[in-house]
Each structure stands twice: as structure tokens, then as C-alpha cells.
């Protein structure tokens, strides 16, 4: 690269994982090479307003946006400019070459932001609209895994309206999935937000109502005493999988507090598994990645039943955590790719994906 590229780093967002996004963005910002990139920090508030500033990330952490300018992208192709609002006037700030979205959960990881970036016609890191949407929705994702013959735990999906209007029937439906314990989860959220382990009917009722606070779709899944295994995937059409790692939570499962508040979960990298099991995990991870048309990156999570040894694919995260304790970069470091090299590779993959989009004919004449 002879000339520096203009890179927009987007963080925050309208999600229960807003704070996690700020932590991830801090780690990414610290590693981005300012000799190669002009970095434009763009934060999105919990209400969905976009702000730009040279110190936007720190401003968001302090919850003081007074020094920032409102900003936006116009949802149309052409010159992908980042605009700011200055004295009530819309002004182009810079032509953006590539976007690095570090947003977790709704309105960032679920295909909505990716749809905007497609309309702008700008290169961006990570999965496209369909891959992001399917990867985000735990219910749809599990149905796709079943269709691919990839093992998943027994589950069912219900809607918030059903839970709020006919809770006894929904409890009975949930109890038909498997014996207790059961897990209740918002279908479209990550970082263990809104997830409860339910050991009896009273806890199940609480879990359904809690998950319904965070999403209109709720997943109920069989609980097993399991080893929690995570693996990182990198690439576009020909992805590769890292070595797997194991999470040993201090809580009854890998909770939000374990991940981001107390940081007490033990991470074993690489996981102590046989070569056969490692090969099976890598195979299923790549299969899942391709099945949802993922691109750039994903972290794929598995369970290994401690009693039977059976392997289950749990979920796929298209924008995994990038904090100092996050598994995605740590697994690649253990596999021979440094954090800085990983970021460079992701940006390279973003441009490759953009070239493929550019090769698509957009009009037809008989």
C-alpha cells in the first residue's frame, strides 16, 4: 500500500452488548497500524445515533459525546463518504475505503448494518447480509445445522407474544424438549446476555420472561453437563479453522459476568482433545461457516457431553469478541497468526469480497 487507506471503525450500537463492543473496539484500535490507515472512529449510541470524533471511543466510554459530531453514510452507491453534521449542514468528511464493524448483537451483527454497507457499496470486514442474519438467529441457525447433518442439542423456538399471552402452554412446550435442566436464550443476542439455566418450572418461567425482554424470539435448549469448546474460522470461500480452545467457567455456565465483569473463566488453549476430535470440530466448524455463507471471520462454539462424549455444535458468531480476553484472537495466536496479522488478513479478505461483488452484473438485457 503506497497510500494510507481510510478505515472507519464502527462500535457501540443498539444492543445489550454495547459495552462489549466498546471493549472489543479498544483492543482493535490499539493494534491498527496508523502507518497504513487513517482511522475514523464512529460510535453508535444505544438509541441508534451515529457520532464521529478523533476521540470517539473514549467519549463513548465516558458517556460524554459533547465533543463529537453526528455522522452518517448515505445509503446509495458511488463515493462512499462518511458525512458529519456541522452547524446543521451535512458535510463530507472522508471517502472511506474499508469499514471495520466491531458491533455485537442486534443492529450490528445481524445483517442490518451489513445491508447498509452493501447499499453504500463499500468494502467491509466480516460476513454479508445473509450470513450475518442466519448466524445471529440461534433458532434459524440450528435448523440449518440440522439440514446439514451437523449435531445440535434438542431445542424449540417460541415468540415473545406467545410467552406473554399463554405462558402455561409455552412452559409445557419447553418442557417437552428434554428433562431439566433447560437453557432459555434470546435468539438474536450474544455474550450470554439474557441466558438462564433453568432447573425447574419456576426457573423456566423466569427464564422465558427474561429472554423475551431481549428479543421477540426465544430459544429453549436441552442442558447438558458439557465441556465448552470454541474454535476460530478465517477466510471467504476457502476458510481455515484454528486450534480449538476450552472454556472452564466459574459460574454454572459461561455467563456475561464470567466473560466481561470478573474475567475469572479459565481458558485452555489449545484444548486437551484427541487429534480425531480436533479434526471433527474443525470439519464441522468449516461446514457451518460455508453453510451460512460466512466471510472474513467467525467463532464457532461446541459442547462435548461429559457423560457420553458426544459433540454438539452450539452457535456461530460472525463478529466475535476482540477484547484482551477473547477467544477468537487468542486461538489464532496459538495457531501461528498474531493479533496484528489477523487484523491485516481480515481487511484483505474484505477487499477480496468487495472485488467479487464488483464482478456481479446488476442489469439484464434480453
DSSP string for 115-127: HHHHHHT-EESS-
pTM score > 0.85 for this model?
yes
pLDDT at 296: 98
Distance CA 151, CA 302 (A): 10
pLDDT at 362: 85
Distance CA 342, CA 232 (A): 11
For residue 235, give the C-alpha cell.
477466510
Could you give the residue range(s) of every CATH 3.30.1490.20 domain in the chain? 154-222
Superfamily designation of domain 154-222 = ATP-grasp fold, A domain (3.30.1490.20)
Fold of 144-150+225-356: D-amino Acid Aminotransferase; Chain A, domain 1 (3.30.470)
pLDDT at 189: 75
Could you give the residue range(s) of every CATH 3.40.50.20 domain in the chain? 5-124
Contact 318, 131 (CB under 8 A): yes
Could you give the residue range(s) of every CATH 3.30.470.20 domain in the chain? 144-150+225-356
Nearest to 85 by CA among 97, 75, 73, 77: 73
Contact 164, 326 (CB under 8 A): no
pLDDT at 1: 45
For residue 75, give the C-alpha cell.
445509503
Distance CA 248, CA 268 (A): 8
Top-tier CATH class for 5-124? alpha beta
Q: Per-residue confidence of the chain (366 residues) as pLDDT tens digits? A: 458 999 999 999 998 889 999 999 999 999 999 999 999 999 999 999 999 999 999 999 999 999 999 999 999 988 899 999 998 899 999 999 999 999 998 899 999 999 999 999 999 999 999 999 999 999 999 999 999 999 999 999 999 999 999 999 999 999 999 999 999 999 987 657 789 999 999 999 999 999 999 899 999 999 999 999 999 999 999 999 999 999 998 765 555 555 545 455 789 999 999 999 999 999 999 999 999 999 999 999 999 999 999 999 999 999 999 987 899 999 999 999 999 999 999 999 999 999 999 999 888 887
Q: Is the peptide bond before 181 cis (omega within 30 degrees of 0)?
A: yes
DSSP 181: P
Amino acid at each position: 500500500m503506497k497510500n494510507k487507506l481510510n478505515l472507519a471503525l464502527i462500535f457501540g450500537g443498539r444492543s445489550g452488548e454495547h459495552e462489549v463492543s466498546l471493549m472489543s473496539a479498544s483492543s482493535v484500535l490499539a493494534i491498527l497500524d496508523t502507518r497504513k490507515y487513517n482511522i475514523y472512529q464512529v460510535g453508535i449510541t444505544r438509541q441508534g445515533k451515529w457520532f464521529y470524533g478523533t476521540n470517539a471511543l473514549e467519549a463513548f466510554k465516558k458517556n460524554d459525546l459533547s465533543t463529537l459530531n453526528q455522522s452518517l453514510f448515505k445509503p446509495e452507491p458511488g463515493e462512499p463518504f462518511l458525512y458529519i453534521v456541522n452547524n446543521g449542514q451535512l458535510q463530507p468528511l472522508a471517502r472511506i475505503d474499508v469499514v471495520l464493524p466491531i458491533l455485537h448483537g442486534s443492529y450490528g451483527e445481524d445483517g442490518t448494518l451489513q445491508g447498509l454497507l452493501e447499499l453504500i457499496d463499500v468494502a467491509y470486514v466480516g460476513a454479508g447480509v445473509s450470513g450475518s442474519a442466519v448466524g445471529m438467529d440461534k433458532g434459524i441457525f440450528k435448523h440449518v445445522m440440522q439440514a446439514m447433518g451437523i449435531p445440535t442439542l434438542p431445542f424449540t423456538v417460541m415468540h415473545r407474544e406467545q410467552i406473554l399471552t399463554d405462558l402455561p402452554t409455552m412452559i409445557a412446550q419447553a418442557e417437552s424438549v428434554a428433562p431439566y435442566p433447560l437453557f432459555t436464550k434470546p435468539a438474536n443476542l450474544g455474550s450470554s446476555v439474557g441466558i438462564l439455566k433453568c432447573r425447574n418450572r419456576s426457573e423456566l418461567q423466569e427464564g422465558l420472561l427474561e429472554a423475551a425482554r431481549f428479543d421477540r424470539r426465544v430459544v429453549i435448549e436441552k442442558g447438558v453437563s458439557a465441556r465448552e469448546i470454541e474454535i476460530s474460522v478465517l477466510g471467504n470461500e476457502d476458510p481455515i479453522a484454528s486450534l480449538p480452545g476450552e472454556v472452564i467457567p466459574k459460574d454454572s455456565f459461561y455467563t456475561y459476568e464470567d466473560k466481561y465483569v470478573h474475567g475469572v473463566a479459565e481458558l485452555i488453549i489449545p484444548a486437551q482433545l484427541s487429534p480425531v476430535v480436533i479434526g471433527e470440530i474443525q470439519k464441522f466448524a468449516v461446514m457451518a461457516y460455508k453453510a451460512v455463507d460466512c466471510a472474513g471471520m467467525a467463532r464457532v462454539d461446541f459442547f462435548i457431553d461429559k457423560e457420553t462424549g458426544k459433540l454438539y455444535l452450539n452457535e456461530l458468531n460472525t463478529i466475535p469478541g476482540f477484547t484482551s480476553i477473547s477467544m477468537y484472537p487468542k486461538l489464532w495466536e496459538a495457531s501461528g497468526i498474531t493479533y496484528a496479522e489477523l487484523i491485516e488478513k481480515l481487511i484483505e479478505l474484505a477487499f477480496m469480497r468487495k472485488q467479487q461483488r464488483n464482478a456481479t452484473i446488476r442489469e439484464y438485457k434480453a
